[in-house]
Copies of this chain bind each other. A is one copy, B any other.
Amino acid sequence: MSLNGLHLTADLAAVDAELPVMTDLRALQALCVDAVRGAGLQPVGHLFHPFAPAEPGLQAGITGVVLLAESHLAVHTWPELGRVTLDVFVCNRTADNSVRAQALLDELVEAFSPGERLLQRLLRGELRD
């Protein structure tokens, strides 16, 4: 039986640290879960963790994941650096989820309005059975 997947990554720079989704866990979680649903993918759980500031008063980022029936979305924010990384990994076992994965990534990238972006893609699991 075949199992392959598409893994999309986006590394963002020059992101405005004042955007709520850079430091507000609830805002980032809502953005991610809503975007997953909007793209037609199925969330099965999520976990977001706020980092402590290096010094009181400094900004600190968030790391989080939405587990999907189709694999996962991961996000990390570094407001102190204006950086964000995004991963969208979908498996194409019962349906081709590539278009949904790209739509999800595109929506999240735009939500951060980055000054600079590096987009990469990996084909996963192209193994003989």
Contact = CB atoms under 8 A, between A and B. Distances in A.
Interface string A26-70: 000000000000000000111101010000000000011101110
A106 B30 CA distance: 35
Given A63-B72, A65-B47, A87 B85 contact: no
A19 interface: no
Given A5-B85, A49-B44, A74-B72, A67 B67 contact: no
Contact of A89 (B87, B126, B128): B87
Given A63-B71, A63-B72, A7 B9 contact: yes
Nearest to A76: B71
A44 B52 CA distance: 11
Contacts of A3: 78, 81, 83
Given A13-B128, A89-B87, A118-B125, A67 B72 contact: no
Q: Closest 8 interchain pairs by CB?
A: A11-B125, A47-B47, A13-B127, A65-B65, A45-B49, A44-B49, A63-B67, A49-B67
